[in-house]
Structure 1
Amino acid sequence: MSNEPLPDPEAASKTSLQVSETDDTNLEFMVPEPPFEKISRLRLLTFIALMATSQIFSQALLAQSLVPSPYTAKSFGVEGDQGQISWMTAAYSLSVGTFILISGRVGDLVGYKKVFLASYLSLALWSLLGGLSQYSGSIEFFDICRALQGLSVSAAVPNALGLLGHYLPVGKLRNLAFGFFGAVAPLGFVLGALMSSVLAQFATWPWAFYVTAIVSVVKTAVSIFVIPKNIVTVHKNLTAHHFDLYGAATGISGLVLINFALNQGPVVGWKVPYVYILLIVGVAFMVAFAWIERVATHPLVPKLNTAVVFTLACIAFGWSSFGIWIYYTFRFAYDILNLSPLIASVQFIPSCIAGLLAGMITANLIHRVPASIMLMIAMACFVGGLVIMGLRPRGQIYWAQKFPSIVVCCFGMDISFPSGILILSNKLPRRHQGLAASLVTTVVNYAISVGLGLAGTVEYYKIKNGADTYTGIRSAFYMGMALSAAGLICSVFFVYYQLVRHRHSAHKI
């Protein structure tokens, strides 16, 4: 990223309007109001906290249907149908992981604040309808509302990160802000889990959706006054012509079809023709997407260097295993230990402390320790958390394996996410800050959904062949262990690559 000062508005009007795909030198940037040097400390801290609440929303909404799933499934008459129950979570993650890719790019073009505000108004609408879906009796309508909640969040998260990355100068405050953004993820999940389980147990589950709608409207109103104006590249330089429409169409189609097939397979079985046909068509769309990105003048995904590819691959493996871990840890609590959603949620409270600690440690170490080492530590934490929880026997006390598994997995989550955001934010130019956030959050959320589909398929066929629920859940954990181990192996290669590159550079000197 360029460290040059913001251009003078009058001088900027005389500069070339050509747009480079590699740097910011030919771009004009509007001066934020107020500029960073003049914003009050209270408003600045409020702004950072307000952006971080987008991560809280993202994880709270993941818990919103996952945790009270016994109550939600019962109201729709699908209790015991684990395929349908998993879709209540997968629909949200699929939508977030798919559409987040273009949401950051849209923010780069039209303004992060505009997209951010619109996303929360949309979230309020679909949260309200999600709660009201109880009266329709249709689980499909509920899943659609969950998917559109995810679409709203997919616009909020990358543009919140784009606002931070565009407004805050490179330095310690920026690192701390990104670290804090990642660190509050466990807090968001726990808050969502506690709120939804309390309301489901003592009122009705739709109230969690109604509360989300109310809070979203309030947050929109506050954001209008707190977020500085003009945090955006000048419109006349970046226009709709710079949006890769064909890439977006093929990429979204491919991601949706592949994810749908992977999550529908455990519901109806892989012998049903439309499941594998959709998977094949989805792969074909992704091949077309890759070709379009190579030849496009303004690709949706810019050319990525080897370090960024390694980073995204590690995050994909790690977070797919994390999705399996979180879902089947709750399944273990419900189906094996017969715990209530409220008690199961309370057991996750230590993750808040572990997450904040991991996030702050990451923010302070990311520029002192090579990124590959940080990711390797994160992948090792994912492996440890999956192994500890996946091998837990029936009837064991909470403190023996579940507690350490929660702590270890939170370190994996809160080291990998801010590390990935900081790596891409520093590698991509200033006008691609929304896209940098999009790439990481796309991989995170899409990987969660894909991981659930893979684990669900393993569980489906295991139980179909006569295994009991405990064995089915453990088999799903084995799938998570394999994915996390793949992430660890990938991170080891990343470390080796950086060592070889460092030695080569030293030899040339």
Structure 2
Amino acid sequence: MDDTAGDLMAISPPNVTRKSKENGQGDSPQTVTVSIENGGETIVSQPSGLPLPSKARTVALVVTLTGAAFLNSLTVQSAVIVLPTIGKELDIPEARQQWIISAYTLTFGCFLLLWGRLADIYGKRLIFMWGCAWVTVTTIVIPFSPNEICFDVLRGLQGLGAAANVPTAIGILGVTFPPGKAKNYAFSFYSAGAPLGSVFGNLLGGIVAEYASWKWIFWILACLAAAVTIAGYLIIPVPVVNTGTKTSVDWLGGTLITMAILAFMFAMTEGNVVGWSTPWIPVLIVVSVILIALFVFWQLYLEKKTTRSPLMKVTIFQNTRFSAAMIIMLLFFASFNNFLVFATYFYQDYQGLSIIQTTLRFIPTGVVGICTCFVTAYILSRVRGNYILMFGTVCISITSLLFAVPIPPHTTYWAFGFPAMCLAVFGADTLYPSLTLFTTQSLSQADQALGGALINAVGQIGRAIGLAIGTAVQTAVERKRGVAESSSAASGSQALLEGLRAAAWLDLALAATAFLVVMFAFRGAGKLGAIKK
């Protein structure tokens, strides 16, 4: 840990006069500039970060911000484990129990971009703390829900708070650390928060469900959220007061993109439940496409025809590598999330393992993930970005292949399950920090939280698309094997196994496509974590 702390403090930022009070007018870092190496091309000059008074506080800052990513995954995964228990107590039919998860992920995915922009304008520290506080309060209240509707509404409000603090954490890292060794370690450590949250979510949900009421899951989560809130107040540096003109918020653009993502993700979530032929499903998809088109036209108008600031400068997508990075993130996250979901189905539904037994099989993802994040931080400034991204996509491709090929299903876990778990996080914890770092370095200091929101929003959309298509493929194969339209494949049946393998082949195709995009779009890319001399 001492070596890591030293790496995080490898930068010696110049002294700066800072006021002790935050006025809510955004963050204003110093103006010492450095250039980002990207295949010999300078994308943007970035100011150096805010000075931190001590090595210990620097490490504490990164840990605090990582807590946002950790809590987000922990909140989702711990609830997955106890879906049947909550459904039984609140009389929620099995067909609607998915909304215990979907209510959270919908609001989280939909409000990311708006919250990211608000953080860049009104202050990242302020929005981060309010987001964490909001998550704390809603998480405390959720267990007192008397019925299904109240529970789902509160879960949606909980996701609203997470949408505020997750991208803002990335934004704070982006403006605090100038490009270099310290920033590489900070982003890599942050990226380990999500997979660790998933592992501990399984453990928390499994242990609490076994020995106590499911309500304690949320109260434990509330305690952790409160700890992050307090730590944020004490640790995150108060930004320099911006005495310039405050940028206005593009509320119309924010409304358009939020409603577009909401309509799309709702359709993706419900398509496999009510059937894709249900009339309002394609209508919602068409509406979402129209809203996205209107959003793009409105952003271009503001950017090129007026002096007002758009919610997002869509002209950034004219940069081939930036657009490719978003496509890679979408494809990779679709494949990686599908692996986690369908591997769970394989162990629980097909092999009939208990929650605890299944959780134990996922523990390597957390342990290996921690190790991988430090290796990634080390190689970001030493290995070309295209090689790192190719390695990540190849890893998740092999992971999917191991679950797709007809290996006898009762073959020992150590022969194919364990290697798959390790390879999955090799891919995730090299690719995610690389793309996150690339995104923040491609945007100006004024758009760092928006960059964090964008990369997370693309991941959420990829997750929704991948799971919707994967579930449809699995269901179609099961129907061909004689499973009735209104029922699910029996536990341990051949139909279920073939359906899961078909979904794994889809995951392989998604990961392989991401690999091809990396090969062509990032060919000759420079070292993502290096400072151009």
Indicate the TM-score class for this superposition, using the shorter chain for normalisation: 0.7 to 0.9
> Unmatched 5+ residue regions in structure 2?
1-11, 20-27, 35-45, 304-308, 484-488, 527-533
Partner of 1:213: 222
Distance 1:497 1:282 in 2: 28
Contact 1:119 1:153 (C-alpha < 8 Å) held by counterparts: yes
Amino acid at match of 1:422: L
Q: Distance in 2 between matches of 1:284 and 1:156?
A: 29
Superposed displacement of residue 214, structure 1: 2.2
Aligned mate of 1:486, from 510, 519, 533: 510
Is the Cα contact below 8 Å between 2:48 and 2:175 reproduced in 1? no
Alignment map for 1:87-126 (pairs within 5 Å): 87-126=99-138
Q: Provide the residue aligned with 2:311 in structure 1.
A: 300
Distance, in Å, in 2 between the alignment partners of 1:77 and 1:97 is 27
Are 1:307 and 1:494, in contact at CA under 8 Å, matched by a contact in 2?
Answer: no
Alignment match of 1:330 (pick from 336, 344, 350) = 344
Instruction: Give the deviation of 1:159 after TM superposition.
Output: 0.9
- The 5-angstrom pairing of residues 19-418 of structure 1 reads 35-36=50-51, 39-77=53-91, 81=94, 83-133=95-145, 135-136=146-147, 138=148, 140-230=149-239, 234=242, 236-239=244-247, 241=248, 243-297=249-303, 298-302=309-313, 303-304=315-316, 305-391=319-405, 393-418=408-433
SS at match of 1:349: helix
Distance 2:430 2:48 in 1: 33
The answer as to whether partners of 1:351 and 1:407 remain within 8 angstroms in 2 is yes
Are the equivalent residues in 1 in contact too, given 2:250–2:311 (CA < 8 A)? yes
For 2:497 and 2:508, the matched residues in 1 are separated by: 17
Comparing 269-278 with 51-60, greater Cα deviation is found at 269-278
Post-superposition offset of 1:349: 1.3
How far apart are residue 72 of structure 1 and its match? 3.0
Structure 1 residue 9, shift from structure 2 partner:
8.5
Q: Which amino acid aligns with 1:485?
A: A
Contact 2:328 2:517 in 1 (8 A): no
Output the amino acid matched with 2:182. Answer: L
Please, which moves more after superposition, 218-227 or 308-317? 218-227
CA deviation profile, 1:303-347 (whole Å, cap 9, x unmatched): 221111111111101111122111222222221122221221122
Aligned CA distance change for structure 1 residues 483 and 347 (closer, same or farther; 3 Å) = closer
> Normalising by the residue count of structure 1, what TM-score does the alignment of the two structures yield?
0.85
In the alignment, what sits opposite 2:38? none
Give the letter aligned to residue 150 of structure 1. G
Deviations 1:165-217 (A, max 9, x none): 11122210111010111123222211121111111111121211111112222
Paired with 1:403 and 1:349, the residues of 2 have a C-alpha distance of 10
Please give the alpha-carbon distance, in whole angstroms, between the structure 2 residues aligned to 1:230 and 1:456: 46
Deviation at 1:478, TM superposition (A): 3.1
Amino acid in the other structure paired with 2:70: I
Task: Identify the structure with the greater helix proportion.
Answer: 1
Contact kept, 8 Å, 1:88 with 1:143, in 2: the verdict is yes
1:388 and 1:401 in contact (8 A); partners too? yes
Runs (4+) of structure 1 exceeding 6 A deviation are 3-10, 29-32
CA distance in 2, matches of 1:132, 1:473: 39
Cα pair 1:31 1:230 within 8 Å, conserved: no
**Number of matched pairs:** 475
State the Cα distance separating 1:379 from its structure 2 match. 1.3
Q: Distance in 2 between matches of 1:457 and 1:317?
A: 17
| Contact kept? 1:123, 1:153, Cα under 8 Å | yes
Q: Distance in 2 between matches of 1:86 and 1:355?
A: 28
Contact 1:263 1:453 in 2 (8 A): yes
The 8 Å contact of residues 325 and 477 in structure 1, kept in 2 or not, is answered as no
Query: Which whole-Å CA distance do the structure 2 matches of 1:185 and 1:363 have between them?
Result: 16
Opposite residue 447 of structure 2, the aligned amino acid is H
Secondary structure (helix, strand or coil) at the match of 1:284 reads helix
CA distance in 1, matches of 2:404, 2:90: 30
Matching residue's letter, 1:292: W
Cα shift at 1:235: 6.1
Distance 1:315 1:69, change over 3 A: same
Bigger Cα displacement from structure 2, 173-182 vs 493-502: 493-502
User: Per-residue displacement from partner, 1:335-373 (whole Å, max 9, x unpaired)?
Assistant: 112222122112211111211122122222223323222
Local SS of the residue matching 1:399: helix
Q: CA deviation at 1:121?
A: 1.4
2:529 corresponds in structure 1 to none
Q: Identity rate of aligned residues, in percent?
A: 24
Deviations 1:423-476 (A, max 9, x none): 011111111111121111111223223322222333344445533355346435
Contact 2:48 2:176 in 1 (8 A): no
Partners of 2:393 and 2:514 within 8 A in 1: no
After TM superposition, the score normalised by the length of structure 2 is 0.82
Alpha-carbon distance between aligned partners in 2 of 1:296 and 1:480, rounded to the nearest angstrom: 43
CA shift, 1:484, in A, is 4.5
> Do the aligned partners of 2:33 and 2:47 also contact (CA within 8 Å) in 1?
no
User: 1:212 & 1:271 partners in 2: Cα distance?
Assistant: 39
Question: What displacement does 1:67 show?
Answer: 2.4
**Which of 438, 444, 448 matches 1:433?**
448
Q: Counterparts of 1:452-463 in structure 2 under 5 Å?
A: 452-463=467-478
Q: 1:76 to 1:386 in 2, by over 3 A?
A: farther
Contact 1:421 1:440 in 2 (8 A): yes
- Let me know the Cα RMSD of the aligned residues: 3.0
Aligned-partner Cα distance in 2 for 1:501–1:381: 20
CA–CA distance in 1 between the matches of 2:227 and 2:18? 34
Cα separation, partners in 2 of 1:434 and 1:389, compared to 1, 3 Å = same
d(CA) in 2 for partners of 1:210 and 1:48?
25
CA distance in 1 between counterparts of 2:501 and 2:82 reads: 21
Local SS of the residue matching 1:339: coil
The answer to whether the 8 A contact 2:199-2:363 is kept is: yes
- What letter is aligned with 2:311? L
> Which sits farther off after the overlay, 470-479 or 279-288?
470-479
